[in-house]
Amino acid sequence: MSVTRYGTSMALFACAASALTAAAPSIKPVPGLVLTTTVHANIVTSGKGAFGYMDAENLISLTGAGPEGLAYSVRMSAPSNKVAEEELKKFKLVRKVRREDLEQSSRMTLLYSTSDPESYGGQTFAETSTKVLKALQANGETPFVFGPYEGFSKAFAAVAQPLSAATAGVNSGIPLFPSVGSMFSSLFGSARHYYRGTLRRAEPGDVPFSVLLNGVRTDVPAVHAAGTFNFPGEDPAQVEIWWLDNPEYPLNLKWVFGRGSSVVTRIDLPVDAAGVAAIMAAQLAGKDCRAELHGIYFSTGSAVLLDESEPMLRQVAAVIKETPAANLTIEGHTDNIGSAAYNQALSDRRAEAVRQALLTRYGVAGSRLSAKGFGLTRPVETNDTYEGRAHNRRVELSRACAGAR
């Protein structure tokens, strides 16, 4: 990994810095915020084993923010099969970060399991501290400690594949669910190993980091740092991390630890119902006659709606009831992992799941709403990246009009 030291001329990065808007979106730690992270291999462990998937999404929801600190709820995703879904029903993870650690900590835990305590004193979880962010900004470097599980680096080295291999290997049919139970049976629930080293800014100024912010592709300013980290008896780990350049909430946007990685692909902030209704109504009335429903969540490869979808479902129902158009359609879309037939069936089931939720839980008239899946046929971004595929996995509300696709 090549890292540019902090002393590099600022002029080299002037163009990149100017690409960031002066008024960067204000992402603050407010209850109702939901982070969608995409990981190399998503794991749910229990006495019955583990489940993995190469392009899985987990949800980290901010449930509390106050003088004492922050509280998160984590929902891990798993492939759509009965055993995995039964295990997920038992899985509930709460993580809390103390206010003093949000201000001063130079340690961060990586990953999570049901054996974790709710709070690791002296460490952060989904963010770094204000102290670390300021040190990188002022000095270009800072000592830091990462806390993955024992054997983490070797475990991921055993299963990590190039992105092209991860997608190409499944395009002939149903996506692969790697058997990683034996590898992770001794990993989760084991001790954390604390790797120590120094993080140095890879660029002297902020870099743009692309996320879906409330469904809209947005560049946010990030501090990018890297370094070599060591734990006695294990190979050194090359680490990179991108933190949101916001002292009020220096959020982890992406980390790479050896062969393991995690990237935030979506950030959904709570928006008042009137604001959401106005945006959706304007989009439905526009030339494309459609609105993307950014707060709809499914488990990986599944058409079962997750509880985190309820706020958006409620708002969609209100918009439908107030929209004069008689013909509205819930559309399902997927990425290209798996065959066309697999993705078509998945998009059909997801669209119908949203329709049924709106009918049965929110009183939308069935005569006003249909459901249709389009599978992988209508991507809005490239399928060659985690970020692009995350956007292609979406649900839209559309109305019949001349400009509709």
267-303 tens-digit pLDDT: 999 988 777 888 888 888 888 899 999 999 998 888 9
**pLDDT for res 85:** 64
Cα separation, 375 vs 384, in Å, equals 16
* Beta-bridge partner residues of 393: none
Q: Per-residue pLDDT averaged across 201-229, rounded?
A: 96
CA distances from 319 to 45, 61, 204, 295, 405 (A): 40, 25, 46, 15, 21
Spans of all domains in the chain: 10-268, 273-399
Q: Per-residue pLDDT averaged across 80-87, rounded?
A: 62
**pLDDT for res 114:** 72
* Beta-bridge partner residues of 392: none
187-211 tens-digit pLDDT: 455 678 999 999 999 999 999 999 9
CATH superfamily, domain 273-399, is OmpA-like domain (3.30.1330.60)
Choose the weakest-confidence range: 47-51, 224-228, 290-294: 47-51
Question: What is the pTM (predicted TM-score) of this model?
Answer: 0.85
Is residue 183 predicted with pLDDT exceeding 90?
no
**pLDDT for res 300:** 80
Is residue 168 predicted with pLDDT exceeding 60?
no
Is residue 389 predicted with pLDDT exceeding 60?
yes
Q: At 329, list the tokens.
A: 């359609």
Is residue 251 predicted with pLDDT exceeding 80?
yes
**pLDDT for res 155:** 56
**pLDDT for res 90:** 62
Is residue 67 predicted with pLDDT exceeding 80?
yes
**pLDDT for res 378:** 97
**pLDDT for res 150:** 73
Q: Residue 400 in contact with residue 368, Cβ under 8 Å? A: no
**pLDDT for res 70:** 98
Is residue 11 predicted with pLDDT exceeding 50?
no
- Which one, of 290, 385, 270, 362, lies nearest residue 332 by Cα? 290
Q: Per-residue pLDDT averaged across 250-263, rounded?
A: 91
**pLDDT for res 337:** 82
Cα separation, 71 vs 227, in Å, equals 29
**pLDDT for res 39:** 72
**pLDDT for res 173:** 62
List Cβ neighbours of 148 (8 Å cut-off, separation of 6 or more): 109, 110, 111, 192, 193, 195, 257, 260
**pLDDT for res 152:** 65
Is residue 398 predicted with pLDDT exceeding 80?
yes
Q: At 23, list the tokens.
A: 């008024």
Choose the weakest-confidence range: 105-114, 154-163, 209-218: 154-163
> What percent of the chain has a predicted confidence (pLDDT) above 90?
55
Binned at pLDDT 50, 70 and 90, residue 113 comes out as confident
> What percent of the chain has a predicted confidence (pLDDT) above 70?
75
Choose the weakest-confidence range: 24-38, 67-81, 139-153, 323-337: 67-81
Higher pLDDT, 311 or 259: 311
